[in-house]
Amino acid sequence: MSDRRVVITGLGALSPLGHDVASTWSALLQGKSGVRHLPADWPADIPAKIAAPVATEPSELMDRVEIRRLDRSEQFALIASREAWKDAGEPAVVSERLGVVIASGIGGVLTLLGAYDVLKEKGARQVSPHTVPMLMPNGPAAHVGIEIGARAGVHTPVSACASGAEAVGYAFEMIRNGRADVVVAGGTEAAIHPLPMAGFANMKALSTRNDDPERASRPYDQDRDGFVLGEGAGILVLELLDHAKARNARIYGEVVGQGLTSDGFHIAAPDPEGTGATRAIQQAIASSGIDSKTIVHLNAHATSTPAGDIAEAGAIAHALGSNAAHVAVSATKSMTGHLLGGAGALESIFTVLALAHRIAPPTINIENLDEKITLDIVRDTPRQLPDGKISALNNSFGFGGHNVALLFSSFEMK
């Protein structure tokens, strides 16, 4: 195991709950929902008519000319990265030791579909020359890398709804194995559009609780009927501990382990046995070397789908064994909706903040807890976490059978 320890020194977010980390975290602790009705002109034949758009439009947060050259997912990533980088104190780092890993589940789908409309209606000459850089899934990572001059490597893992977590894990590895000292990492997604939503709806993956948007995302409730599509970005600055200490950086917490597995089972359905998810959690713990009794909190993937929530809950119970009874489980998608490739990153931020502030965010909208759920769910209001050294897991799973578990620990300067 590498002796290069990795800490988190900066956070940034643009989410359905807020335009930055502070506003997002505050709304999360208050149990607010970011889910809204879609505009009145939303196609009538798409059964899901609700989503969780970002709380503040990028046009209020960045320059007009920049906006026209960036896909919406790139706008989100740049806005969140600027916040995270500033939050980290704009670390002075040799550019060859600075990396970027920013994921997306789908890439620039709004650009792709918009450009196809232009092609059909106005002809090829009118297709913007910015189209390809805007639709490529690595565009968000590339733009951030160019802005901060990152030359250790710029990467974009793609694993559907596990993408954002995989990016954080990849960044962790880049620092541990010596490729970089500072890495800007996270995920972004902007896919609220009739086409992807028609596709998700036809998979029966989306909630159709259209008459009650704020109550629609309800992980672990017995009447949950699917996820609510969200959008936004979460970005973390990961840094070599020695590098952070040398510049007296404020340290939110430590990344101590990750587990990456695959189901080899089905392109969309979770393995009902949850063995891949179980192994991911077990690997994260085993690779960290920490005492598993310090794990007191878990931010679940829990998207509010009937099958997924149960499969994951079983995996958590199995992986944690008797310790599961001491783990406060939060399903924050009940408030943010599901940011797809942004989810694992935004939820990593929540997990890190939960450790730093010693408070687990609530899970809202559980009216009747599914009787198959035996976990200790944090319901309705936040819960205090214990003093001393504590750790927390963040789970993310993606269509295709991708399983990622990240393990974080509290950090106290000695």
Partner 1 sequence: MALTQNEVLAGIREIVEEVAGVDPATIEMGKSFTDDLDVDSLSMVEVVVAAEERFGIKIPDDEVTKMATVGDAVNFIVSAAS
Out of 155, 161, 193, 297, pick the active-site residue: 161
If one counts every other C-beta atom within 10 angstroms of the C-beta of residue 80, the result is 35
Using only C-alpha atoms, what is the Rg of the chain?
20
Catalytic: 161?
Answer: yes
Out of 143, 243, 338, 402, pick the active-site residue: 338
Distances (CA, A) of 145 to 35, 100, 179, 366, 394: 32, 6, 15, 41, 26
Please state at what angle helix 194-202 crosses helix 109-122, rounded to 10 degrees.
120
Contacts 24+ apart (CB under 8 A), 152-155: 152/95, 152/96, 152/97, 152/98, 152/99, 152/179, 152/180, 152/183, 153/99, 153/100, 153/179, 153/180, 154/99, 154/100, 154/101, 155/99, 155/100, 155/101
If one counts every other C-beta atom within 10 angstroms of the C-beta of residue 284, the result is 27
Subset of residues 339 to 358 that bind partner 1, contact rule: CB under 8 A: none
Distances (CA, A) of 276 to 279, 357, 396: 5, 31, 12
CA 269 to chain centre: 20
Q: In angstroms, what is the minimal distance from the CB of 88 to partner 1? A: 28
Q: In angstroms, what is the minimal distance from the CB of 129 to partner 1? A: 4
Cβ closer to partner 1: 62 or 286? 62
Cβ closer to partner 1: 133 or 140? 133
Out of 143, 243, 297, 301, pick the active-site residue: 301
65: phi then psi, degrees, rounded to nearest 5:
-70, -35
Q: How far apart are CA 232 and CA 369, in angstroms?
A: 29
Q: How far apart are CA 223 and CA 253, in angstroms?
A: 36
Q: How far apart are CA 216 and CA 331, in angstroms?
A: 13
Subset of residues 115 to 174 that bind partner 1, contact rule: CB under 8 A: 125-126, 128-130, 133
The one-letter amino acid at 209: R
Cβ closer to partner 1: 131 or 334? 131
Cβ closer to partner 1: 63 or 371? 63
Cβ closer to partner 1: 138 or 334? 138
With CB under 8 A, what is the number of residues at the site for partner 1? Answer: 11
Cβ closer to partner 1: 35 or 134? 134
Q: Name the residue with tokens 């008797």.
A: 322
CA 104 to chain centre: 10
Tokens coding 213: 């948007």
Q: In angstroms, what is the minimal distance from the CB of 189 to partner 1? A: 24
Catalytic: 143?
Answer: no
Subset of residues 47 to 76 that bind partner 1, contact rule: CB under 8 A: 63-65, 68-69
Q: In angstroms, what is the minimal distance from the CB of 303 to partner 1? A: 38
Q: In angstroms, what is the minimal distance from the CB of 315 to partner 1? A: 46
Q: In angstroms, what is the minimal distance from the CB of 90 to partner 1? A: 24
Q: In angstroms, what is the minimal distance from the CB of 82 to partner 1? A: 18
Cβ closer to partner 1: 66 or 291? 66
Q: How far apart are CA 218 and CA 84, in angstroms?
A: 30
Please state at what angle helix 139-148 crosses helix 72-87, rounded to 10 degrees.
40
Cβ closer to partner 1: 63 or 121? 63
Q: In angstroms, what is the minimal distance from the CB of 127 to partner 1? A: 9
Beta bridge partners of 229: 338
**Residue numbers of the site for partner 1 (CB under 8 A)?**
63-65, 68-69, 125-126, 128-130, 133
Residues classed as catalytic: 161, 301, 338
